[in-house]
Structure 1
Amino acid sequence: MTSALSLVERHPTLDAGSIVSSLVPPPQFTQARFDNYIPNPDYPSQEEARTILEEFAGRNTSVIKQAKLFGRSKKVEEFPPGVYLDGGFGVGKTHLLAAAWNVASGKKYFGTFLQYTSLVGALGYVKAVEALKGASLICIDEFELDDPGDTMMMTRMLGELVAGGTRIAATSNTPPAALGEGRFAAADFLREIQALASNFRTLRIDGTDYRQRTAEGISRVLTPAELAAQIGSAREVGDFVTEDNFDGLLAHLATVHPSVYVRLLEGIDVIALSDVHVIMNQTDALRLVAFIDRVYDAQIPLIASGTPLSEVFGGDMVHGGYRKKYLRCVSRLIALTNS
């Protein structure tokens, strides 16, 4: 697959086993620890969140072992069996989540909300729960409920896992009781949403987006000639660069399951996109968001011509129900194109 010179030439298949084995933190967070998370002193909630989550992660393994030792099926918990980090993008929530995963021992999983829902889609609900059962800790990054089916499915799955002794740590840009607002009739599923929220102790993390402390406020854009020159220079030093037309990439993403977007990126050092333009179709926009999340996880630089990538979400998208998702993506696009 790495020999393909464009992303559209790559056709990864959906493999349930690969999805399970990929439930680990992204490479950039392999060394994430609580002691190398640097709280911003202007926002005390960052230090507070680190302290509480470190305690939560440390208790995780000992509580499970104690339960098994005494043969108890239920445990008395001082707090709910989950911690939910609520805050804006770029305040270090994923770093803290990965730190908790790195501290925990035993069977553990780390993935985005999309990866877990994709696992259910690949294995079926019963087999997915069986695959995750017995874990001491499950970390869910970018928790979001975009439709009623996901709401009920995740409520049921988390309930079963928690009942079996698993603890849950999650991050999101939205408090758990407000998940789904602006995207579907959340009021119709209030009972399910409240049941989901009851599993978590919510920790609010305030702060500014660290990616934009040093990045410009817009994605860097190149002329076609500059793009060609940079592609040539990167290849001369041995970087593996893919070249794609923006429309071609959007069309190709529609043919690939989002859970395997990460496999589109194997072996790539730089992604080059030509003729970038504003997207008016929300389905295409959301696919691009999912793809950029994986590009950001892999820390692959983007070079592009046309419209700045940070300005591709057209119409009223950034003011609608997916506002936080788009703004997070814009933040990441600015970082990737200015790296």
Structure 2
Amino acid sequence: MVGHLKGRSSSRREAIWIGYHVTEIVALSERDPKVSPEELLAGFHPSYRFGEVSFDTYIPDPAHPSQAEAVERLREFAASMDRRSTSGGILSWFARKAKKNSPGAPNGVYLDGGFGVGKTHLLASLWHAAPGEKKAFGTFVEYTNLVGALSFTTTVEVLKEYSLVCIDEFELDDPGDTVLMSRLMRELSDAGVKLAATSNTLPGALGEGRFAAQDFKREIQVLSDQFETIRVDGEDYRHRGLEAAPEPVTAGAELDTAQQHFPEEQIFAFDDWTALTNNLSRVHPSRYRELVKDVDVLVLSNVTTITEQAMALRFVVLADRLYDKDVPVVASGVPFEQLFTEDMMAGGYMKKYFRTVSRMTALAREGQLGEKAP
């Protein structure tokens, strides 16, 4: 039995009764979410997936000692943060003044390593362990979106009151972002804000292969000088000891397969691949979190290889939001190993694309095999 529901979105919603449960079917391709600057700022905290992680829940791989070393260094970094600097008042002013004028060690830590070695887990653990209530945690693109929503000056004024600013997946995709983030990090560091970042690229090599990095060497060096680099080696934990990615489901059987695997009450997003990607080109990436916020399972039909760079970068953002929310994926079409072209996988954004393939594969394994990555 199928009926129509009036929901929180203007998009089509259907209700399917399965036994005693009601499954709602929505279409991301029909959504056009709106997000205020206040809502953007309120979202700067670890996602559901990393909402309760800690240094104790991170399991270092014995084959890669740098993982255990990174945990200990981050524990020390969290312990070194002056609790008085988060209390406000005259003590906060003196603490900030001392930090601003003190030479020597960088004011931040930078976790460098391949995709799937647990860098985001470690960054979120640092956020949870650090003292104070005013802390920010977001991806690189979320900070650039915040500047676009609030203005650069307002963003600095807001974030300089925080004790810690964490930037996940720190990557510079164009000269404008290079200058923007170097200025932001410099001003926050001067204000005494502790910084922490993750990336697949050493801070001195940011931007290589994407634009004429030598033309922006000064800005990139400013970024590098803000951080102590901590190397995190290892294999992609999402696939450690597990089988290869599952085969795509048969076209036409996507929704039935998803409902069999998730028979309990859920909200399913069911989209044709072309319709979804067309909508992604119309919705700004800053709104992708809102786009999927109530979705429990994503069902995709007829996935094809992305051939346009702009769309590929937009899908990277969507994949991050899906992974943050731990949304299982059931899909037909090409396997996610073929999500991007060979040229893309060998180009300047290759690390972003490898991360996306890794994350989408993990979500597909969960959706189609019921296996969660460790």
Corresponding residue for residue 99 of structure 1: 125
TM-score (norm 2): 0.87
Partner of 2:167: 140
CA distance in 2, matches of 1:261, 1:220: 27
Comparing 207-216 with 280-289, greater Cα deviation is found at 207-216
Count of equivalent residues: 339
Select the residue among 271, 295, 298 that pairs with 2:325: 298
Residue equivalent to 1:317: 344
Query: Aligned equivalents of 1:249 and 1:237: distance in 2?
Result: 25
* Of 41, 44, 62, the match for 2:65: 44
One-letter code aligned to 1:29: F
Deviation at 1:234, TM superposition (A): 5.6
Structure 2 counterpart of 1:90: 116
Q: Which of 245, 249, 258 is the matching residue for 1:222?
A: 249
Corresponding residue SS for 1:48: helix
Of residues 32, 50, 57 in structure 2, which corresponds to 1:29? 50
Q: Does 1:326 align with 2:353?
A: yes
- Is 74-83 or 322-331 further displaced after alignment? 74-83
Aligned counterpart, 1:79: 105
| Pairing of 1:263-278 with structure 2 (within 5 A) | 263-278=290-305
What is the Cα deviation at residue 216 of structure 1? Answer: 3.3
1:289–1:326 CA contact under 8 A, matched in 2: yes
Hey, what does 2:91 align to over in structure 1? 68
Residue 38 of structure 2 corresponds to 17
Distance 1:243 1:293 in 2: 19
- Is this contact kept in 2: 1:14–1:257, CA < 8 A? no
CA distance in 1, matches of 2:31, 2:92: 49
Q: Please, what TM-score do these two structures have when normalized by structure 1? A: 0.95
Most deviating of 302-311 and 2-11: 2-11
Aligned-partner residue type, residue 99 of structure 1: S
Shift of residue 63, structure 1, vs aligned partner: 6.7
Given the alignment of the two structures, is residue 179 of structure 1 paired with residue 177 of structure 2, yes or no?
no
Structure 2 residue runs without a partner (length 5+): 1-7, 14-25, 367-374
- Structure number with greater Rg is 2
Give the AA of the match of 1:128: T
| Corresponding position: 1:150 with 2:177 | yes
Answer yes or no: is the 8 Å Cα contact 1:82–1:169 preserved in 2: yes
Q: Which amino acid aligns with 1:302?
A: V
Quote the residue 1:248 is aligned against: 275
Change over 3 Å in CA distance of 1:162–1:9 after alignment to 2: same
2:138 and 2:166 in contact (8 A); partners too: yes
How far is the alpha carbon of 1:77 from its aligned partner?
A: 5.9
How far apart, CA to CA, are the structure 1 residues paired with 2:55 and 2:320?
A: 23
C-alpha spacing 1:107/1:69, structure 2 compared with 1 (3 Å):
closer
Q: Which amino acid aligns with 1:258?
A: P
Measure, in 2, the Cα distance between the counterparts of 1:201 and 1:48. 14
**2:372 — aligned with what?**
none
Q: Tell whether the 8 Å contact from 2:328 to 2:363 is kept in structure 1 after alignment.
A: yes
In structure 2, the CA distance between the partners of 1:200 and 1:43, relative to structure 1 (3 Å rule), is same
Given the superposition, is the C-alpha separation of residues 42 and 315 from structure 1 closer, same or farther in structure 2, using an over 3 Å criterion?
closer
| 1:71 maps to amino acid | F
CA gap of 1:263–1:81, structure 2 versus 1, over 3 A, is same
Corresponding letter in the other structure for 2:85: I
In structure 1, how many angstroms separate the alpha carbons of the residues matched to 2:309 and 2:113?
A: 24
- Residue 212 of structure 1 deviates from its aligned partner by 1.0
| Percent identity of equivalent pairs | 46
- Paired residue secondary structure (2:82): helix
Shift of 1:74: 2.9
Q: Which runs of 5+ in 1 are unaligned?
A: none
Contact 1:310/1:330 (8 A) holds in 2: yes
